[in-house]
Amino acid sequence: MSHHMTEVKDLHYVYPDGHKAVNGISFKIHHGESVGIIGANGAGKSTLLMLLMGVLFPCQGEVLVGEVLVTKKTLPGIRQRMGMVFQDPDDQLFMTTVYDDVAFGPRNYNLEEKEVEKRVLQALEMVGILHLKDRAPFKLSGGEKRAAAIASVLSLQPDILVMDEPTSALDPKSRRRLMKLLDSFEHTKIITSHDLDMVYELCDRSIVIKDGEIAADGPTSKILVDADLMDACGLEIPLALQNCPVCGRKK
């Protein structure tokens, strides 16, 4: 399954104002893996995702998706295989109804309207908001918006799902529902988040970023429990792993 591999080689990115956001990052992500990318505010996580998606182009180094180099030319093909869910669903739900929004991607690839409909309904079914299909996005709750944003990406049937802070601003129930949903996907998942408990539950592997560089890369079960490492990178051990506040015993 090497054709679904995502590879990043010695990636560098400097913003136009001279700020070095990514400084030599390299990693390989295999098909079906779910990877959490964590790090303090401003560590460069969102920038890294933008580079993966070909929204930004690296100053140095390269991104390979399924052994294809990401360039302006290969972009259309690659984007069909990678779906990205934005941090703010309002940026992503730009059409007037949920249905039209989920159909936006497939229609751009000039699929038959029948096929479009099939995919839209399938995607909405998957995230459990089929009943909202004729709603206007501005009338959805935060959790429903997030689900719709995910559906709008799923309708393109990507192999790789990239998400920037999917659980931010969700109430506990919506967060739980979303995590269940994400857990059920067999896609390759790349998730950035400050919600370390979610990363702990969902991702087998974690990459810790600090100042645009990889500080650690390995199994989540090893990385997230390493108190010194987490502290050095401006993070904390997930609450679920911390000492119980009531009895002081380690769970």
Ligand X SMILES: Nc1ncnc2c1ncn2[C@@H]1O[C@H](COP(=O)(O)OP(=O)(O)OP(=O)(O)O)[C@@H](O)[C@H]1O
Instruction: Give contact residues for other proteins (rule: CB under 8 A).
Output: 50, 53, 55, 76, 79-80, 82-84, 86, 88, 90-97, 100, 103-105, 107-110, 113, 116, 134, 136-139, 152-153, 156
- Asked if 106 interacts with ligand X (CB under 6 A), we say no
Closest alpha carbon to 128 in 105, 110, 151: 151
105-137 in b/e form (b: 16+ CB < 10 A) is bbeeeebeeeebeebbbebbebbebeebbebeb
143, interface contact from other proteins, ligand X, Mg ion, none, CB < 5-8 Å by kind: none
Distance CA 70, CA 52 (A): 8
Among 4, 25, 35, 39, binds ligand X (CB under 6 A): 39
Residue closer to other proteins by CB (options 79, 210) is: 79
Among 17, 112, 186, 228, binds ligand X (CB under 6 A): 17
Q: In angstroms, what is the minimal distance from the CB of 55 to other proteins?
A: 5
Instruction: Please list every residue from 45 through 84 that binds ligand X, using CB under 6 A.
Output: 45-47
Residue closer to other proteins by CB (options 134, 186) is: 134
Residue closer to ligand X by CB (options 26, 108) is: 26
Beta strands in the chain (DSSP E): 6-14, 20-29, 34-38, 60-65, 68-69, 82-85, 160-164, 188-192, 205-210, 213-219
Residue closer to other proteins by CB (options 34, 152) is: 152
41, interface contact from Mg ion, ligand X, other proteins, none, CB < 5-8 Å by kind: ligand X
Site residues (CB under 5 A) for Mg ion? 46
